[in-house]
Structure 1
Amino acid sequence: MAECTHVAELGDVTPSDTEGCTDCLAVGGHWVHLRECLTCGHVGCCDSSPAKHATAHHNATRHPVIRSFEPGEDWRWCYVDQEIV
């Protein structure tokens, strides 16, 4: 299997929100866990959350890599390669 090349394209980003899912906060929704886009900093909710805003953000923007935005978690996921990177 080839190694994910999308990680090399990442730079420093600032989270769009530190209080929760940017989109859920805007509409009064709720989330289970948070994810941060490592291309633009968008904070969205995980796929266990009702609205799945992190995946919706990827589908709309094609930004490839997210990271967990949960305290104590340190992992990244590439949507394009469908693997932890």
Structure 2
Amino acid sequence: MAQQKLCSELASLSDIKQPQALVCDECIKTGSSWVHLRTCQECGGTHCCDSSPNKHATKHFHRTQHPVMASAEPGERWVWCYVHEEMAEY
């Protein structure tokens, strides 16, 4: 993680989980589309972002309370904590 004071959820990350596939499984099930993808750092599930019609990453947080998502977009290296609304690059 970058040299900045981080919330406990971001500070506790040791390895960043990478997506198993570059798809939102929830969108695939419903025949919907997504804009960008995020990977849950607790369970490893990949979900669509808030710019996507279904906002599955945020819904996943509200359903599971898994607090941290990482961008699953190639070339992006950041994580987001839903609890503290804090982002950090890695």
The TM tier, using the shorter chain, reads 0.7 to 0.9
1:6-30 deviations in whole A, cap 9, x for unaligned?
Answer: 1316666463x40410100111110
User: Over aligned residue pairs, what C-alpha RMSD do you find?
Assistant: 1.8
Structure with more contact order per residue of length (Cα contacts < 8 Å, sep ≥ 6): 2
Structure 2 counterpart of 1:32, from 17, 35, 43: 35
Retained in 1: the 8 A contact 2:39–2:70?
Answer: yes
Superposed, 1:6-85 pairs within 5 Å as: 6-7=9-10, 8=12, 13=17, 15=19, 17-85=20-88
Unaligned runs of 5+ in 2: none
2:22–2:37 Cα contact (<8 Å) kept: no
Residue in structure 2 matched with residue 3 of structure 1 by the alignment: 6
Unaligned runs of 5+ in 1: none
Residue deviations 1:36-84 (CA, integer Å, cap 9, x gap): 0000011000000000000000000000100000000000000001010
For the 8 Å contact 1:10–1:39, the answer to whether it is kept is no
TM-score by length of 1: 0.86
Q: What's the TM-score, normalizing by structure 2?
A: 0.82
Which amino acid is the alignment partner of residue 28 of structure 2? L
- Opposite residue 4 of structure 1, the aligned amino acid is C
For 1:76 and 1:14, the matched residues in 2 are separated by 11
- Could you list the runs of 4 or more consecutive aligned residues of structure 1 that deviate by over 3 angstroms after TM superposition? 9-15
